[in-house]
Structure 1
Amino acid sequence: MSFFILRALPSAIAALLLSASQLTMAQETDFSGQIRGLWNTSSANTSSPAGMVNQLVPGLIAHDTQSGVAEAELHLSGKGITAIATLQGQMNDSGNTRASGWLNELYAAGGEGAWQYSAGKRVIAWDVGYGFRPNDVVAQEKRRSLISTTSIGKPLASVEYFNASSSVSMVWVNPGHAPSTDMAEEQAFAARVYHRMGSLDLHGFARYGQENGASLGAAAAWVATDEMELHASLRYLRKNTGLRMSTDSSALSNLIQRNSPWQDASQNNAMQVMLGANYTTESQHSFFLETWWDGTAMSDRQWQDWTTRNQSLRGSIAYLPQLQKEIGYNLAWQNQALSTSGNLRRKNVFVRWSWQDNGWQPAIDLLWTPEDNGRITTASLGWQGDRITINGGIRIYGGPNKAVMAQLPDSKTAYISATWAF
């Protein structure tokens, strides 16, 4: 891995490290960061729609079985300015390389007394859950990623008032953006009210998007005992826009489409609910349970139609061999359903066990979808030193043939990473 890091790390990283380190000599300036190497390998799910696509139209859906990543994440702050930038080099199993870079955050912050202000590109993450956060309406972070990395912020302006037990926050996110049905990209106003009552934290949320309109939410977290913590979230969305298959596309007479049958469609009056608990023993064993309902995900009937259309497309190969390419494209479009919502199914149960001992942290977790008995199982092992962190693990997707999790493009993914902080 060290050879790969030296080979793939762009020379620009070294130059930026040198120039940034010189800034640490200036007064009131803080510079830090980390360098990470990551290697992962995945196994293609040949029985999935994506696997069938590449049998019909080879190369239509790219799939790298192995890849390596080297990146430097640099943090610079001083005089009210905070900046986080990432430079990254990638290499896939074909030997192709790519270098890229982005700003995670760049914002100015200040305040006077109980008032605080900020403007720029910033990560503002809300809500109390682990596997699912319905009220994370500003950052909208991806949950349960294999490797923990710094999120990419949103353009925003914020103001916050706080005292010893309460706070009020208001955020204008994506100011000036063109109208978009994508909730992550649309211009919106969001607010949060927080109040602490002893061991109970209470949160209230509101959001108004330029295209998706209003939503309201609430959350609570309660430290019941030294070992037990309970939390819950609730969100109501007046309108939600997401990809849905046109109603007649599953019919045999309309099976082979010239264009993708997956189009943006509005859904009214959606609900999201999450309940969770965390129990930690004196010996640092942690047991975590969350269950949630996501009304923005596709319904059980819609997934049944999706499965029926997959089966019909596969079956049509036998009597329409002259349309093999067209069938392949239609199967490729079926993969759009996998990105219609942050959750694939509406009902979800998540359990996790972890343990900390002398820098070591093994963990096992399971995401189960009761509607079709699909599951994602992850096992990991991490070690934390003073400056070096090493993590590795494997994630397996499975369930019965009808389960959505069993029809994902990958059947399993393994990874290992090493991070040096400075």
Structure 2
Amino acid sequence: MLFALFVWVPVSAADVSTRLRVVPEYHDVNRSSEFFLPDAINPLPQQRSHQVLEIQSALKGFHMLGTLSNFVARHKKPENDAVLNELYLDFSLANEDFSIGKKVMSWGVGFGFRPLDLLQRENRRRLYQNTLEGVSLLAWEHFTRSGAVTLVYANPGAGNHADVIDDESFAFKYYQLLGDTDLQVVARWSEQNQWEAGGGFAQVVNDNLEWHGSLLYQQHYGQLQHRLLRTGGNTLLATSNPVEVHTANDGIKAVLGMSWTSMSGWSTLLEAWYDDTAYSKQQWRSIVKLTQQQRTLLGQPGVPDTAVFGNIAWNSQVFSASNWLRQNLLLRIAHNGETLDPALDLLYTPEDGGWVTTATLGIEGNQQR
């Protein structure tokens, strides 16, 4: 019913805006990697492009955000998709504020990692950030001069869901501004994770310097684990997907960081974070060793190569985690200019001594980016 209202509202009566993003991509693969798959098993076009049209509308408390996507790649049929990212109503009743519908609700502090983001669960380390898709919810918010209290009933009637963003839950947020310091306290209960609770802060030290931090405790949390590794490793090949979500207890997520910004537009960010839901160094060693052992079966009599490559593809699912290792250090140097916005990210994982370097360049002209 709400969607029909948006469809039939004249453009002149509603606030409508659009944004088009065109993302050309070039990909290459490391053929010496244990996880490499030949094109016959996993064809990955080197050249492809992703086009996204965002359409946003607002009218008297109603808000809508939708995306139309087009994906083209060499030697592949174009793919199209349409997503209703947000559709919700904000309204006031008895001097209290309410929201109902599908709405993006991001919480927490931090740039590379936000432990307190209990509802949206945004992956902050993606090279290309997709338009966020909201959570179905009922929300109540009470505002004071220097703070706010928020209660959320997320995904009503959905029950226990493997994907946390679709899991039925109750969430609470308390926000308070004390001088130059923002304080946040959050909590969430769901059948799947039970209790999650934590707090955070962001403090402005002076015109150039700020620092922030947060800590979250999870009574239960999910982690991708390999069934063959849990059974002792006596069997090298699985006949069905062996990567499963395993429930662990008493998890901790934490982040601590600072940023310095100059009058010229240059900024430097330093962040350190810890994530219990990520793999440990020993877990990575185990999955790499298993993959190496599986590759030795290629060409063996009675062992189809497709079965071996299929298992390696299943193993690769561990790369879908937002953090690959538990301990992370991030250095970001960026410049916010009138036309060019360059940035350089250096992510270091002390457990394995690994580095990930990401360079980006934003170009702005008038209202185009």
TM superposition score category, shorter chain reference = over 0.9
**Partner of residue 110, structure 1:** 91
Root-mean-square deviation over aligned CA pairs: 2.1
Q: Distance in 1 between matches of 2:30 and 2:264?
A: 39
Can you list the C-alpha shifts for 1:101-154, whole angstroms capped at 9, x where unaligned? 111100011114752100101001100111001111111122133345531111
Q: 1:83 aligns with which of 64, 80, 83?
A: 64
Contact 1:202 1:221 in 2 (8 A): yes
**Partner of residue 399, structure 1:** none
- Verify: 1:277 aligned to 2:258, yes or no: yes
Q: 1:24 aligns with which of 3, 8, 11?
A: 11
**Partner of residue 272, structure 2:** 291
Contact 1:195 1:201 in 2 (8 A): yes
- Verify: 1:355 aligned to 2:340, yes or no: no
**Partner of residue 136, structure 1:** 117
When the two structures are superposed, what TM-score results if normalisation uses the length of structure 2? 0.93
- Alpha-carbon distance, 1:378 to partner: 0.9
Q: Distance in 2 between matches of 1:321 and 1:226?
A: 69
**Partner of residue 401, structure 1:** none
Q: Distance in 1 between matches of 2:301 and 2:267?
A: 55
- Verify: 1:93 aligned to 2:74, yes or no: yes
Q: Bigger CA drift: 325-334 or 128-137?
A: 325-334
Q: 1:323 aligns with which of 304, 308, 312?
A: 304
**Partner of residue 324, structure 2:** 344
**Partner of residue 32, structure 2:** 47
Can you list the C-alpha shifts for 1:361-393, whole angstroms capped at 9, x where unaligned? 11111111111122221111112222111xxxx
Q: 1:113 to 1:81 in 2, by over 3 A?
A: same
Q: 1:257 to 1:371 in 2, by over 3 A?
A: same
Q: 1:378 aligns with which of 349, 358, 361?
A: 358
Q: List alignment gaps of at least 5 residues for structure 1.
A: 1-18, 390-422
Contact 1:20 1:31 in 2 (8 A): no
When the two structures are superposed, what TM-score results if normalisation uses the length of structure 1? 0.81
Q: 1:368 aligns with which of 307, 326, 348?
A: 348
Q: Bigger CA drift: 247-256 or 143-152?
A: 247-256
**Partner of residue 213, structure 1:** 194
**Partner of residue 306, structure 1:** 287
**Partner of residue 38, structure 1:** 23
- Alpha-carbon distance, 1:162 to partner: 0.7
Contact 2:151 2:171 in 1 (8 A): yes
- Alpha-carbon distance, 1:23 to partner: 2.1
Identity over aligned residues, as a percent?
30
The one-letter amino acid of 1:179's match is N
Deviating above 4 A after TM superposition, structure 1's stretches of 4 or more consecutive aligned residues are 19-22, 247-252, 318-321
Can you list the C-alpha shifts for 1:1-40, whole angstroms capped at 9, x where unaligned? xxxxxxxxxxxxxxxxxx98982322xx211111222211
The one-letter amino acid of 2:249's match is N
Can you list the C-alpha shifts for 1:263-311, whole angstroms capped at 9, x where unaligned? 2211000001100100011211100011100011122221111111112
Higher helix share: 1
Q: 1:247 to 1:21 in 2, by over 3 A?
A: closer
Q: Which has the higher contact order (CA 8 A, sep 6+)?
A: 1
Q: Distance in 1 between matches of 2:322 and 2:103?
A: 21
- Verify: 1:174 aligned to 2:174, yes or no: no
**Partner of residue 232, structure 1:** 213
Q: 1:113 to 1:387 in 2, by over 3 A?
A: farther
- Alpha-carbon distance, 1:195 to partner: 0.6
- Alpha-carbon distance, 1:69 to partner: 2.3
Q: 1:326 to 1:342 in 2, by over 3 A?
A: same
The one-letter amino acid of 2:368's match is I
Number of equivalences:
364
